[in-house]
Structure 1
Amino acid sequence: MTGERPLPGQMDLPFFSEEQDHLAEEAVEVGSFILSLRARGIRDTAILRAMELIPRDVFAPRRFADLSRSDVALPLPCGQTMTSPGTVAMMLMALGVQEGHRVLEIGTGTGYVAALLAQLGAEVHSVERFNTLAESAVQHLKIVDLALRVKIEIGDGLAQRVRERFDRILLNGAVLSIPSTVTSLLGPGGRLVGAQTIEGFPRLVRIDRLDDGQLRQELGANLRLSPLVTGVAATL
C-alpha cells in the first residue's frame, strides 16, 4: 500500500521549523538594528560587523532583552547604565582600534563593549569597580567565546598603574577632567577616547600622544554617558 501522492509542486515547498522561524525573525531584527546605526552616520564596516556578530541581548539584563536591539541605554544593577549602541559605536569610531592593539577599558559594565573590542582584534584589559558586574561580564564573555581575549580586573580604573602602556584607552563614562594617571598610560602613538563633562554636558574627548610625546586633545559631539566614579565599590 502506497502513501498519498504529493500535490504538484508540493515537494518543492520549504519546511520551516519554529527554530528556523525564530532565526529568521532574529536576522530581521539584527538587520534593522544595523540599518539604524548606519542612519546615525555609523559607516565603519568593521564596527558594524562586530555589532552584528556580538548579540547585545546576551549582555543586557533579561527583563530588557526585548530592547537589546534598540538604540537605547539600559539600566543595570549597582545603579549603572548600559550605554546605547549608537554612543558605543561613535566612541569606537573615534578610538580607531586595529588588530593586535592593547586596549585598556575603564568601566566594564556587562562586558558588551569589551566583547566588541575583542571582536575588532584587540587584546583587552578591562577594569570594573563593581564585583557584581565584573563577575557577570566574565560569564557573558564566555557565552560569546571571547573570554580568552579579555582580562577583567576588579579595581579603580582611574588609579595610578605602574609601568603599563596601552595603544588605546576607552573610558566608558564621563569625567570632569581626564586624569594624568590615565593619560600617562598611553604609549607612543596611543589614543584615549572618553567623555569630558563641560558646562554640565558630557562631550566626546579624544587625546592622542604625538611623536614628540606631547598630548593633543580634541572635543567632539555631546554624548549621553553616565559619570565615571573613582574607587572600588565597598559593596556589590
Structure 2
Amino acid sequence: MTEADAERKMQFLFALRSRGVRDTRVLEAMEKIDRGIFMTGVFAERAYEDMPLPIPCGQTISQPSVVGLMTQALEVTPRDKVLEIGTGSGYQAAILSQLARRVYTVERHRRLTQAAETVFRELGLSNITAITADGSRGYPEQAPFERILVTAAAEDPPGPLLAQMKVGGIMVLPVGQSDAVQHLIKVRRTETGYEYEELRSVRFVPLVEGLGQDERS
C-alpha cells in the first residue's frame, strides 16, 4: 500500500466514525474490505468517497457511511446466519461476511450476482452464497435467519421477510416511497410480534418484485 493509499484509508475510516459508525468490529471489517474492488471504470477512483456511486443494471453501491450504519444497527454476531436482499456490487455482503457465520445474498439481476461472485472468489470469501431470485420473497430454503438486511426500499417491510426472521432476530431496511423520503428502520422479532425503531432518513433504489429483465428471456 502506498503512502497515498494509506492516507486515503485513514480519511475513509475517520469519515465513517464522524458519521456515527463506532462499532469496532464494523470498522475493522470496512477497513479490511476494499470498496474499490467492487467498482469498475472511472468510479473505482472514487471508492473512498462517502457517496453512492452507479453500478450496472441501474443500481447503486451505497455510500460507505450508510453501509456502516446499517451494519452496525444489525448487531451481527459471529454465530449469525444473515440474509441480504439486494446484492448489488457485493460490497455490503462482503462486509457482513467478516462479521457473521454465513451470508446468503439475493439479487434479481444475474449479471450482478455473477460479478459479485467473481469478487467473492478473488477475496476468498467462502461463507457467502449468492442467489439470483426475487428478493421480496426472501430465501425460504435457508430460513429462519438471525439477521436480515435489505438494501432496497419497500413501502412496508415485506411479509415473507418478517416471517423468515428468528424470534430474537433483527432486520434493518429502508421503508418509504421510492421518490420520497425514506426511513431506515430496525425491526426486532419478539415472542409476541415485532418492535419497530426508526433510525434515520435515507434514499435507496426501490425493492422490485420478480427477476430483472435479463432473466426473463
TM (normalized to structure 2)?
0.93
Q: CA deviation at 1:187?
A: 0.6
**Structure 1 residues 183 and 129 mapped into 2: Cα distance closer, same or farther (>3 Å)?**
same
Q: Which has the larger radius of gyration?
A: 1
CA distance in 1, matches of 2:138, 2:104: 15
In 2, Cα distance between equivalents of 1:119 and 1:45 = 12
Residue 217 of structure 1 deviates from its aligned partner by 1.3
- Aligned partner of 1:175 among 126, 139, 154: 154
CA contact (8 A) 1:191 1:209 kept: yes
Secondary structure, counterpart of 1:175 in structure 2: coil
Q: Which runs of no fewer than 5 residues in structure 2 stay unpaired?
A: none
> Who is 1:205 aligned against?
185
Residue segments in structure 1 that go unaligned for 5+ positions in a row: 1-21
Q: What RMSD in Å do the two structures reach over aligned CA positions?
A: 1.5
Distance in 1, Cα, partners of 2:130 & 2:140: 17
Name 1:24's counterpart in structure 2: 3
Structure 1 match to 2:137: 159
Q: How does 1:1-236 map to 2 (within 5 A)?
A: 23-146=2-125, 148-159=126-137, 161-162=139-140, 164-197=143-176, 200-210=180-190, 212-235=191-214
* TM-score calculated relative to the size of structure 1: 0.86
Q: How many Å separate the matches in 2 of 1:33 and 1:227?
A: 27
Pair 122,201 (structure 1): closer, same or farther in 2 beyond 3 Å: farther
Q: 1:34-75 CA distances to partner (integer Å, 9 max, x unpaired)? A: 011111121111111111000000001232011101101000
Aligned-partner residue type, residue 56 of structure 2: P
Question: Could you tell me the percent identity over the aligned residues?
Answer: 34
Distance in structure 2 (CA, Å) of the matches to 1:64 and 1:70? 10
Q: 1:48 to 1:162 in 2, by over 3 A?
A: closer
- Residues 71 and 85 in structure 1, CA contact (< 8 A), matched pair in contact too: yes
Residue-by-residue CA offset, 1:117-162 (whole Å, 9 max, x unaligned): 001133100000001100000011112211x110000000112654
Once superposed, which parts of structure 1, at least 4 consecutive aligned residues long, lie more than 6 Å away? none
Report the Cα distance in structure 2 between the residues aligned to 1:160 and 1:102, rounded to whole angstroms.
13
C-alpha separation in 2, matches of 1:72 and 1:160 = 28
What secondary structure is seen at the aligned counterpart in 2 of 1:158? helix
Amino acid at match of 1:189: G
CA distance in 2, matches of 1:161, 1:150: 14
Count of aligned pairs between the two proteins = 213
